[in-house]
Amino acid sequence: MSDLVGMKKLAVLAATLGLFAAVPSVASAYWSHYGWLPNGYDADCIWYATNGQCSGWNYWSANQVTVYSGGPTLNGFENYSTIRGRWTYAGQYTSVGPGDLYMSAYVKAQETNWGVTAWVSVWAFA
């Protein structure tokens, strides 16, 4: 009889653990860059690869930048055919999402330097 009780307890434990395993985990992703633009060649960038930095492909929800000096910097997103963003100048902060730029969410977050090399802090999150 004790073997039967022990097996029932084990079955309840296994079922409980199975429920926890079935709960999906909450995933998050981010991309960041701190420093000068350009910072060499970034092979992940499609547009302006020699004077910009960009993330990998993801469902990004926002890309934020603070430009400390230099610039301006185009803060935005890119895909295989388009680069869009908002110009951000020294001393400014900008946050933009793909929807703000009429782009799909599956894009690369990017920062593109134009003119004077810029010192930036970038944070994109999905």
Query: pLDDT band for position 105 (50/70/90)?
Result: confident
Q: Domain of 96: which CATH number?
A: 2.60.120
pTM score > 0.85 for this model?
no
Question: Is 114 a member of any domain?
Answer: yes
Question: Is 16 a member of any domain?
Answer: no
Helix (H), strand (E), coil (C) string for the chain? CHHHHHHHHHHHHHHHHHHHHHCCCCCCCEEEEEEEECCCCCCCCCCCCCCEEEEEEEECCEEEEEEEEEEEEEEEEECCCCEEEEEECCCEEEEECHHHHCCCCEEEEEEEEEEEEEEEEEEEEC
Question: Is 115 a member of any domain?
Answer: yes
Question: Is 24 a member of any domain?
Answer: no
Whether residue 31 has pLDDT greater than 80 = yes
Count structural domains, the chain.
Answer: 1
Question: Is 20 a member of any domain?
Answer: no
Question: Is 57 a member of any domain?
Answer: yes
Question: Is 102 a member of any domain?
Answer: yes
To the nearest whole percent, how much of the chain has pLDDT over 90?
Answer: 49
Question: Is 49 a member of any domain?
Answer: yes
Could you tell me the residue range of the domain that residue 45 belongs to? Answer: 30-125
Q: What is the pLDDT of residues 38-67, one digit of tens each?
A: 666 677 788 877 788 899 999 999 999 999
